[in-house]
Chain A
Amino acid sequence: MTQAILETRGIVKDYGEFRALDGIDFSLPPGELRAIIGPNGAGKTTFFNVITHKFKATGGKVFFGGKDITNLPSHKIVKLGITRAFQIISLFPKLTVFENLMCALLTIKERNLCMFSSAKGYADIREEAFRILETVELGTQANVLCGTLAHGDKKKLDLAIGLACAPKLLLLDEPTAGMSPEETESTTKLIRRICEQEHITILFTEHDMSVVFAIADNITVLHQGKVVAQGKPEDVREDRGVVEAYLGEEF
């Protein structure tokens, strides 16, 4: 078996008295498209926040490609190859769509300290930015201030910024939240395509079960900060623990 791209051992995260994550052992092989599901408050977003060191874990370790990244600051984790898109859209609102991507690309290519060259003058970055914009179908909006985009497009741009960081592992927190059915469908296909064509491992959370069962290779189910089930979509659907976790919810 190949080495896991992402592995966590005994991740614990407390918010005061409340234990949001309760000893998560998790392993993700490279190339997989994995969904994390669970009821509200199960700890999905917190899990992402701990992996990317937005918050420090109370206990446990995170390994990326075998390397311990538990205590690395977020910006270093990004440079290693983990990026994320956010559940609550997180962009640079006073910059245009193109500039948003350009900044991510400049950073990944370590050009932040160039003070006297024109940021928009790099042909390689222009090309790459437009390639990604085409991928997420935002090519025609390149010069729009991103603060003025429609919700679905903002969500796509958030994903595009994640892609621009040249990740090996992409974390998507509810990538289709708030999208129209058409947008949801195109985004779902897009995620599948990114995983297969760009060879990026993807870990995503999602509320929309039709999306999850349509594209995920495997599913991990979180409930009250613990992994309660894991496996192929069809197995998870039958799992008793999962049904209990979602009891009262339509599943």
Chain B
Amino acid sequence: MLDRSVLWRNRNRLIPIGAVVVLLFALPAFIPEYELYLVNTILIMAIFAYGWSLLFSYAGYLSFGQSAFYALGGYTVAIMYRDVTGSVWLAFLAVLGISAVGAAVIGALSVRRGRIYFAFLTLSFAMMIYAVVFRWRGFTGGDDGIPSVMRGALDFGLFQANLEPTANYYYFTLVIALIAIAAMWKMVNSPFGYTLKTMRDNMERASFIGVDVFKYALIAFVISGVYCGLAGALMVSLCGMAYPELSYWTVSGDPVVACLIGGAYTFAGPFVGSIIYVLVRSYLMALVGNWPLCLGIILIAVVLFFRTGIMGFVSERFKVTL
């Protein structure tokens, strides 16, 4: 059914997306290092936010504990470089594997409970990981964390790409983020994505069309965990440090806030929200100092005036799917 309107709609979407991608690739040429660092943080936040939103926006599960996997991924990369290997490939492979296993265990214990219990269980598991990381000094460095985590070099066989320079690491993150977001786009429009949407809309009815709801909730949880783990690993490599607060509950709040601001029920929402959240956080924090107060005011404004987030508002106002 490729009639003209469908083509037009796709073109409408592809032009701005292409422009953003080109802009992102060109950025290192004309913005200073600190700003590039911020954009890098935005990309990482976006991966984190998409991971959370797969659970919330599509499967209908509100997790307050995705920092568990953020920390798991972060510490995995730090410990791999410290104790096991210098290979970026292997370290990130381990990140994917360990976040998936961690999410499978925590997910199996959490998704069968009611939704409120799910929120609190995930929160508790994240805080448990925080406590373990904090106490297990010999392995995790306790509250000192693991300092001087390298960014390493990507070995392509014929040549190596050194990731230490900020611009190179930025490209590394950018490619991963684009793949992750594109994969998420495919996923939420796939039969799997629609299966999750039935659960979000009406859990009971979903099981009466034959959906094994706990199975798909668990699969979504694992995928979400992998996204969050990946984000954590990228962040630790970016700032060169793993520390217990990665698993703190306020970190779990980051993707929640980013998605609320951007609009959790639009696909572009988590990305736009991440941009705004990271920029506002860095600049306001430097400017006014009282960051929590500002965040509070922003959140109240969003909830009162843009309940569906910025992209949700735009999408309703201009009747476009974003």
Q: Chain B nearest CB: distance from A84 CB in Å?
A: 6
Interface of B is mostly: helix
What residues of A have a CB within 8 angstroms of the CB of B193 in the complex? 115, 119
**A-contacting residues, B202-250, CB 8 Å:** 202, 204-213, 216, 219
What is the interface size of chain B, counting residues whose CB is below 8 A from a CB of the partner?
28
What residues of B have a CB within 8 angstroms of the CB of A119 in the complex? 189-191, 193-194
B35: CB under 8 A from chain A?
A: no
The answer to whether A103 touches B202 (Cβ under 8 A) is no
The answer to whether B208 touches A74 (Cβ under 8 A) is yes
The answer to whether B211 touches A112 (Cβ under 8 A) is yes
Q: A95-B197, A112-B195, A114-B192 are in contact. Are A103 and B209 (CB under 8 A)?
A: yes
B187: CB under 8 A from chain A?
A: yes
Among B186, B187, B211, which residue has the most Cβ atoms of chain A within 10 A?
B211
Q: Bound complex: CA of A94 vs CA of B205, how far in Å?
A: 13
A148: CB under 8 A from chain B?
A: no
A231: CB under 8 A from chain B?
A: no
The answer to whether B191 touches A161 (Cβ under 8 A) is no
The answer to whether A83 touches B208 (Cβ under 8 A) is yes
Q: A90-B205, A115-B186, A116-B186 are in contact. Are A106 and B197 (CB under 8 A)?
A: no
How many interface contacts (CB-CB < 8 Å) are there between A and B?
Answer: 103
The answer to whether A92 touches B205 (Cβ under 8 A) is yes
The answer to whether A115 touches B209 (Cβ under 8 A) is no
Among A83, A93, A113, which residue has the most Cβ atoms of chain B within 10 A?
A113
B200: CB under 8 A from chain A?
A: yes
B144: CB under 8 A from chain A?
A: no
B155: CB under 8 A from chain A?
A: no
- Interface residues of chain B, those whose CB is within 8 Å of chain A, are 183, 186-187, 189-195, 197-198, 200-202, 204-213, 216, 219, 265
23 contacts between A and B (CB under 8 A): A74-B207, A75-B208, A76-B212, A78-B208, A90-B202, A91-B201, A92-B197, A92-B198, A92-B201, A92-B206, A93-B201, A94-B201, A95-B201, A99-B197, A107-B211, A108-B209, A113-B192, A114-B191, A114-B192, A115-B192, A117-B191, A161-B205, A165-B210
- Interface residues of chain A, those whose CB is within 8 Å of chain B, are 52, 54, 73-76, 78-79, 83-84, 86, 90-95, 99, 102-104, 106-108, 111-120, 161, 164-165
